Amino acid sequence: MKKNKTLIFLFTAPTVICLLLMYVYPVLRTMVMSFFRVEDLTAGLDKWSFNGMDNYIKIFHNAGFITSLKNFLAIWIVGGVITLSLAMLMAVILTSGIRFQGFFRAAIYLPNVVSAVALATMWVQYIFNYDYGLLNQLVTLLGFDKIRWLGTDAKLWAMIAAYIYGSIGYYMLIYISGIEGIPAELYESATIDGASKSRQFFRITLPLLKGIIKTTITFWTINAATFYLWSKLFSPVQTEGATIVPVVYLYDTVFGGKGVVNRDAGAGAAVGVVLTLIIIAVYLVTERLLRSSDLEY
């Protein structure tokens, strides 16, 4: 028994040490740093000066951070509703026994295989481009004037549309795995009792997918909170109000960026803590709202 305990300790020790050094320590350091004035991210503790909640007050009084939160909410709410709804619709259709469902699954998931950089470049250069983009070609064919899709007013929505296109396939596969795990006998019994397809969806499929739905909402929240790459690809030269998100504001605050004269790692840490609290809050709310319920048809 003692030998087994020793072996268990030896095998788990490297993983535990890596977890503590690479995850727990950075998280705790960031939380503590958010209450201090820290100019340089790598500054020693002797250069930290305690300033309480000033970092949080500072970021919430900053117009750039407020704008980034508004953009984050637009991505999370509008993008989330459209992406998860379409992903669910595709999953239901592709598990209904239609022909060539393997082909359609691969085709819808294909954007997830392509590099995000290449995908964003395709949208920016070949779809949203003012002079020769696909959308403006269609607009002119219909007899209307060209639209500046990447102008200040429409840029955020153009970015969200591109991101939705690249995300549907991923969430579709998650929903498909959940639907295929539902016993076929439930649908057979419902059909015999005269339940329509729509009634089966709302009374059987949705209740049994509540766990999957909670997972996808959490995943979407995390992806929306860490929405850095797409923002920088749609505004590659400098940070713009139309595309700024909290993680971009965090990066500019810590490492310097547009309008940032004095770098502030403490304020950047506060942004990270705020985003973490948002993700935790969404998780707790979905856990409370999407509770399991009895099947009825």
Q: Are 75 and 163 in contact (CB under 8 A)?
A: yes
Q: Which amino acid is at 6?
A: T
Q: Are 227 and 244 in contact (CB under 8 A)?
A: no
Chain-centre distance of CA 293, in angstroms? 27
Sign of the torsion angle spanned by Cα atoms 86, 90, 92, 93: positive
Number of domains in the chain: 1
Q: Is residue 37 one of the residues assigned to a domain?
A: no
Q: Write out pLDDT tens, residues 31-40.
A: 999 999 988 7
Q: Write out pLDDT tens, residues 21-63.
A: 888 888 898 899 999 998 877 777 878 888 889 999 999 999 9
Q: Is residue 44 one of the residues assigned to a domain?
A: no
User: Bridge-partner residues for 243, per DSSP?
Assistant: none
**Tokens found for residue 13:** 């020790």
Q: Is residue 191 one of the residues assigned to a domain?
A: yes
**Tokens found for residue 255:** 């490492």
Give the residue numbers spanning the domain of 254. 54-289
Q: Is residue 9 one of the residues assigned to a domain?
A: no
CATH number of the domain that residue 188 is part of: 1.10.3720.10
Q: Is residue 6 one of the residues assigned to a domain?
A: no
CA nearest neighbour of 216 among 288, 290, 163: 290
Q: Write out pLDDT tens, residues 158-180.
A: 999 999 999 999 999 999 999 98
Residue 194 DSSP code: T
Q: Is residue 4 one of the residues assigned to a domain?
A: no
Q: Is residue 45 one of the residues assigned to a domain?
A: no
Local confidence band at 12 (pLDDT 50, 70, 90 cut-offs) = confident
Which residues are within 8 A (CB) of 97 and not within 5 positions of it... i.e. 6 or more apart?
A: none
- The pTM for the full model equals 0.87
